[in-house]
Structure formats: structure tokens, C-alpha cells
Amino acid sequence: MATCKCIGILTSGGDAPGMNAAIRAVTRSAIFHGYRVKGIMRGYKGLVTNEIVDFDSHSVSNIIQLGGTILKTARCKEFTTPEGRKLAYENMRAAGIDALVVIGGDGTLTGAKIFAEEYDVPIIGLPGTIDRDLGGTDHTIGYDTALNTILDAIDKLRDTASSHERLFFVEVMGHTAGYLALYSALASGSEAAIIPEMETEVDQLGELINHGFRKSKNSAIVIVAENPETGGATALAERVKKEFPEYDARVTILGHIQRGGSPTARDRILASRMGNAAIEAIMEGQRNVMIGVLNGQITYVPISKALQHRKQIDRDHLELVKILSI
């Protein structure tokens, strides 16, 4: 893309640990290759309200270890309208931005896809989401940190669950994808993971009580993926009280604590590699692709394919949780 001289960066949607490492990598890789860089504050909202600032190498100093995003993030109703996107495009052009790097999850990439189609803007997406729910990539920025945060909480809960002989339902994020629930259950030695991928197939709670509790254990931890439709962990605990009153069921909802904290080494390295790859993609003339990692190798995924995110959960790993909890 010989005509590209200035690259804009934004973070949008839910924050994820490692976003700052990605911002740093995009900025410094761009500068290294001779591009000017603009930081766009508060996601797409900043494009609409013209919150666009000059970025240099110093702008991203000492941020690789920080959670959250120095560019901030916000919801933007205006960007969902044609009028809002027109204003965003006009502001972007006025600022001299030729291409965009957007960091976020499926909502962010959906906005990018529409914007790119309407205005022929070259956009490169980076998968910044703790849910790991985008297609075409084995990992997303923030997932590893969130998994370790959950693990730390479960280890602490295990102490009190054992002391009080209770059944703990721990609710984690990911209402359309059960990766956090499944792998935190496996890593923490939890008794079960109740995930959205299995909802229509079996009564996961009934199966757990009937098959998983015919043993000598006097306490248990069950990881539940949040689900606004079914009520998540709270609804399951209420059901236990009604149908299985012999169990003392408690609920812990980890909530937004899962999104915070200093990113792990794995997330920092992933974000750094992907940020650099975004600039390489722009130099190659790529447009409207997400940077992914498959089998350790950087790959370009069409944004439309990334948004289909219908990866199958590994049933063997689900079975492994059950085997190891006896």
C-alpha cells in the first residue's frame, strides 16, 4: 500500500489484558517502517467525536505490563448508524489516517467489517478478547491472563469449599463460548464445567448430580459459563436447593475481575507478535483481515470468517474433567 502514510489505532469493546502490549507493538512497528501513527481514544466513539491524538514511540513507553487500555474503550451508538459512520470517516480522513488497526472482539470486528465495506477503508483487526470466541485463531489477546485470574480465584475458593463441605458454583465469563469455563475447570481440578456448547444436548446439572456425586467427596466446585438467558450459576444454585436440598450450594460470580490485571508473558508475546504482524499486513496491501495464530504461526483471517467463530469445543477435554474428578 504505497499511498498509506498514517495508521490509526483504536481499542473497542470489552477490555482485555494485553491490549496495551498490542498498542505498543503496532505503534513502534509502524514508526520503525516509516509510518505516522494516530491514537484514537474510546474506540469508534473517538472517531465520531474526533478524539484523535498523535502517537510517537514515547506515547507507548512503560505500558506493556499494564492491563486495560491506555486508549480507553466505550460503546458508541452513533457508529451503528450510517450518519455516525460517515462522520467517523470524515474525521479519520481529516486527521490524515489512511488505514486502521482495531483491537477488540466480535463487536469490534463487526463494526470494522461494516465500516470497511462502506468506505473502502483498509482495516486490520487484532483479536483482543478474553472469551477466545473468534474464528481462525488458536488464541486471543487476554485469554491466557483471564484464565490464570480465574485459576487463582478457584484455588482460594477450594480452601473454603473444603472447610465448609459445600458445593460452589463459580460463574466465569463467556456466555457464547465455554473456553474459560472448560479450561479453568481442567486446570483447577474442578468437578465439572457447565458450558453453552452443551446446553441443548444434555441436562448438565442433572448429569453432574446423578453421576458426579456418587462418591465420597464432601465438597465440590463447578465452573459455569455466564448465561443471561438461563440465569447462569445463580439459577443452577436455586435449582439445587429445590431438587437436591441435601447439598449446601453457594455461588461466586467472578465478574469483571477476569478482565483486569497485568498480562501474562504469553499474552504480552502474543500481542507483540500480532501488533507487528498488523503493520506487515498493511505493508503487503492486506485489507479487512484479522491477525490470527494457528499452530504457532501468524495467519491472516478474513474478518467475515473470524466473526463466524463456531469452533467446536474439544469433547475429549470435557470428558477429561469428568475422568479426573472421580
Q: List active site positions.
A: 131
Residue with cell 484455588: 155
Distance in angstroms (rounded) separating the CA atoms of residues 293 and 303? 14
CB 13 within 8 Å of CB 42:
no
Reading phi first (left if > 0) and then psi (alpha if -120 to 50, else beta), residue 17 is in: beta
Concatenate the DSSP letters of all residues of 34-93 into one string.
T-EEEEETTTHHHHHHT-EEEE-GGGGTT-TT-SS-TT-----SGGGSHHHHHHHHHHHH
Question: Which residues are bridge partners to 40 per DSSP?
Answer: 52
Q: Which residues pair with 252 in a beta bridge?
A: 170
For the record, the C-alpha cell of 165 comes out as 463441605
17: Cα separation from own chain's centroid: 9
Calculate the CA 211 to chain-centre distance: 33
| Angle between helices 106-119 and 82-94 in degrees, nearest 10 | 80
Strands 36-40 vs 6-11: parallel, antiparallel or unpaired: parallel
DSSP 3-state assignment of 197?
A: helix
d(CA 232, CA 169): 9
For residue 50 the three cell numbers come to: 474526533
- Any bridge partners for residue 126, and if so which? 103
Report which secondary-structure segment, H or E, holds 285.
none
Contact 119, 85 (CB under 8 A): yes
